[in-house]
């Protein structure tokens, strides 16, 4: 007898959507032949915080990429540099994308701002279905004006030479400077 588990008890992705994903894997493995069983892959597990502003992410954070000694580059783009960002007056919203310099694959993405939990899904799909290929985003037509332009522009702002454009201090930088 083999014990299978899913959800919070696994300790990998303590989210409802993580448990749904694990349930899919467990059910596939229950009925699969021994050589067709699959392991759960948590590298593209999105997360979100439904606060104001919303926060969402997928993949690696900078600190993780540094610890793994990945040669990465950044793309950063503020909401206010898009038509919809200005229309919504989202002065603090921004997106940051991490890409592996050698493979030109997206390895992480993080968003703070309006509808971050929705916008992150474009990068989830790119990372899961297109292996993180930045060209998958670059070759996609994004509606104007829409917040999805933040995703396209963050990816397009990746500087393969290593420096992302400076659009002033982000909400994160301003928050960490404040004394609590």
Does the annotation mark 89 as catalytic? no
In whole angstroms, how far apart are CA 23 and each of 4, 35, 42, 159?
10, 19, 13, 39
Which one is catalytic: 89, 121, 142, 144? Answer: 144
**Residue 106: partners with Cβ closer than 8 Å, 6 or more residues away:** 59, 97, 98, 99, 123, 126, 127, 132, 133, 134, 137, 155
The Cα–Cα gap between 69 and 180 comes to 33
Q: Are 93 and 149 in contact (CB under 8 A)?
A: no
Element (H, E) at 72: strand 72-78
Tokens of 114: 């309006």
- Looking at residue 133, the DSSP 8-state letter turns out to be B
The Cα–Cα gap between 123 and 46 comes to 9
* CA 62 from centroid of its chain's CA atoms: 12
| Catalytic residue positions, numbered | 144
């Amino acid at each position: 007898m083999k014990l299978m588990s899913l959800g919070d008890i696994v300790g990998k992705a303590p989210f409802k959507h993580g448990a749904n994903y694990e349930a899919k894997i467990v059910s596939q493995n229950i009925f699969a032949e021994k050589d067709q069983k699959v392991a759960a892959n948590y590298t593209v597990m999105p997360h979100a915080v439904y606060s104001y502003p919303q926060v969402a992410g997928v993949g690696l954070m900078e600190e993780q990429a540094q610890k793994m000694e990945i040669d990465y580059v950044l793309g950063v783009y503020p909401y206010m540099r898009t038509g919809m960002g200005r229309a919504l007056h989202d002065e603090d919203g921004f997106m940051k994308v991490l890409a592996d310099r050698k493979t030109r694959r997206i390895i992480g993405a993080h968003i703070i701002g309006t509808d971050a939990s929705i916008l992150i899904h474009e990068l989830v799909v790119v990372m899961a279905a297109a292996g993180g290929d930045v060209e998958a985003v670059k070759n996609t037509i994004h509606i104007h004006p829409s917040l999805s332009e933040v995703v396209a522009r963050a990816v397009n702002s990746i500087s393969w030479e290593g420096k992302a454009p400076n659009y002033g201090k982000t909400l994160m930088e301003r928050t960490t400077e404040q004394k609590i």
